[in-house]
Amino acid sequence: MKTELEDVLEKVSRGKMPPRKAFLKLKDYPYQDLGFAKIDHHREVRKGFPEIIFGQGKTEGQIIKIAQEICKRGNSLLITRTGPEVYRKIRSKIPGCRYNTLAQTITLKKKRPAPGMGKIVIMTAGTSDIPVAEEAFVTCEMLGNKAERIYDVGVAGIHRLFGEMEKVRRARLIIAVAGMEGALPSVLAGLVGVPIIAVPTSVGYGASLQGISALLAMLNSCPGGVAVVNIDNGFGAAYLASLINHL
């Protein structure tokens, strides 16, 4: 596939595009500037998915404005890390959008995303890890993947995990969510041969160091095949999983 640069250069060379216009095109094309944010409406072309709004650290006004611009163009909407109060304000402006309380996401499906190849299995070690897993689940679905949940199968009762191995073995890849000692991804990597995306969570106390302990454990996984993302980053795990699942 030709790169954009090559394409523009060719047009310029054939006299179909004046150089100044080409320059401006290359410069201004891919985003819309709101001052406080530059929305990448062409991201879908370049990366395969529409722009996603990370809600944390943005004001309500900023989130709503960006969301409206995305929807205006007929793109699907996914807002992560956002509270119910934003939802209460946004739903009158963007009819049809939905809020997921556990995942803390606002979504609206417009375009049907390209379907992923296989099934992504999302597992948690404990009950308290579920919100992070749900963020991953919503993201997986929004990005066109089939996803299945298997929750509360950590090493504290490893036979629970074994009871779910049939489902686990049907996965094309696994998102394994765990706090505390973070052993679930390592145990899974010793059992199965598919890629495992490990998500440490801030679940725990004291020496869990807000998830640092689980993060370190996962980075040191003795069996191979484990990829790690940031603490509580359910979205990031799902985004990566979807990239792999669409290869």
* Residues between 166 and 225 with contacts to a second copy, criterion CB under 8 A: 166, 169, 172-173, 180-183, 186-187, 189-191, 193-195, 197, 200, 202-225
Distance CA 143, CA 238 (A): 9
Q: Which residues contact 175 (CB under 8 A, 6 or more apart)?
A: 120, 121, 122, 123, 133, 136, 140, 196, 197, 199, 234, 237, 238, 241
Window 24-43: residues binding a second copy (CB under 8 A): 26-31, 35-38, 40, 43
By CB under 8 A, how many residues form the interface with a second copy? Answer: 111
Show the tokens assigned to 214: 């689980």
Distance CA 132, CA 104 (A): 9
Helix 130-142 vs helix 234-245: angle between axes, to the nearest 10 degrees?
Answer: 40
115 binds a second copy (CB under 8 A): no
Q: Would you say the C-alpha torsion 213, 132, 71, 63 has a positive or negative sign?
A: negative
Which C-beta is closer to a second copy: that of 53 or that of 96? 53
100 binds a second copy (CB under 8 A): no
CB 199 within 8 A of CB 177: yes
Which C-beta is closer to a second copy: that of 77 or that of 153? 153
46 binds a second copy (CB under 8 A): yes
Which C-beta is closer to a second copy: that of 96 or that of 223? 223
Show the tokens assigned to 164: 């779910």
**Rounded least distance, CB 184 to a second copy, Å:** 9
Which C-beta is closer to a second copy: that of 109 or that of 191? 191
Which C-beta is closer to a second copy: that of 70 or that of 96? 70
Distance CA 219, CA 4 (A): 37
User: Which helix H or strand E contains 95, and what residues bound it?
Assistant: none
Which C-beta is closer to a second copy: that of 71 or that of 202? 202
Place of tokens 């047009």: 11
**Rounded least distance, CB 76 to a second copy, Å:** 16
Window 121-160: residues binding a second copy (CB under 8 A): 125-128, 130, 151-160
13 binds a second copy (CB under 8 A): yes
**Rounded least distance, CB 129 to a second copy, Å:** 8
Helix 84-93 vs helix 60-72: angle between axes, to the nearest 10 degrees?
Answer: 40
**Rounded least distance, CB 89 to a second copy, Å:** 18
Which C-beta is closer to a second copy: that of 93 or that of 205? 205
72 binds a second copy (CB under 8 A): no
